[in-house]
Amino acid sequence: MRYDNRRADQLRPIRIKRRFTRSAAGSVLIQAGRTVVLCAASIDAGVPPWLAGQQRGWVTAEYSMLPGSTNPRKRRDRGARLDGRITEIQRLIGRSLRAVTDLAALGERTVTVDCDVLEADGGTRTLSITGAFIALVDALRREFSAAATLPLGDSTAAVSVGIVEGRPVLDLDYEEDFAAAVDMNVVMTGAGRFVEVQGTGEEATFTEKQLAAMLKLARTGIRELTEIQHSALGKAWPFA
């Protein structure tokens, strides 16, 4: 058992509240343990200039950690002050959503999903992806009348895995992430296809056997997260 009494293959408790805000086309407050993220999806007519006239849409994301999400207070990110980590995470979320979106069927629309971390205790980028998909589905349902016309080919979710005290574990919180010899973020579709794998040894190396064990854990976690997404969306789940 881990320090919080979870098994090595156990997710933190997940809570989801859809339609958390009224203004956004789709919004969800998602919580994993003590990490809390608000994901809000908006749809605008038109696309970035470099996509104009191609009869394709675009899905992008913005990510921020609010000042009160950490202790000590995190300074607010503004304009050119965006650091490399923020930019990397925004791009990761956007790629993860575009991987399962039919951009041609979306048409010349831009979907922006804002992911704001209200409280950070590890796994903010992966939880943002899992919540962002739910917000995306709700936003698209308001834009497209019939489920059959939703421009989605699959779901997507993400989870962290790592090597802590010599063994692979799933869904690291901050304390485990800080202590991890290896830290990895895995994004997969509901059908079990990989979207992205980000893995780093923290002043350590890892074997092929450990890599396989971490990917197996990630697959188990994402399968469970997909079921949680399905349950949260209920009749709004866009797949048969």
List pLDDT tens digits, range 152-173: 999 999 999 999 999 999 999 9
Cis peptide before 238 (omega within 30 of 0): no
CA distance 18 to 134: 8
Query: How far is C-alpha 154 from the chain's CA centre?
Result: 14
Residues 159 and 186 sit within 8 Å (Cβ to Cβ): yes
List pLDDT tens digits, range 171-190: 999 999 999 999 999 999 99
**What CATH superfamily classification does 14-236 receive?**
GHMP Kinase, N-terminal domain (3.30.230.70)
Q: How many CB atoms lie within 10 A of CB 208?
A: 7
Tell me the C-alpha to C-alpha distance, in Å, between residue 144 and each of 12, 60, 95, 109, 190.
34, 19, 22, 12, 22
Query: How far is C-alpha 47 from the chain's CA centre?
Result: 23
- Is pLDDT at 148 greater than 70 in this prediction? no
- Max intra-chain CA distance, the chain: 56
φ/ψ bin of 166: left (φ > 0), alpha (ψ from -120 to 50), beta (otherwise):
left
Residue ranges of domains in the chain? 14-236
| pTM of the predicted structure, to 2 decimals | 0.95
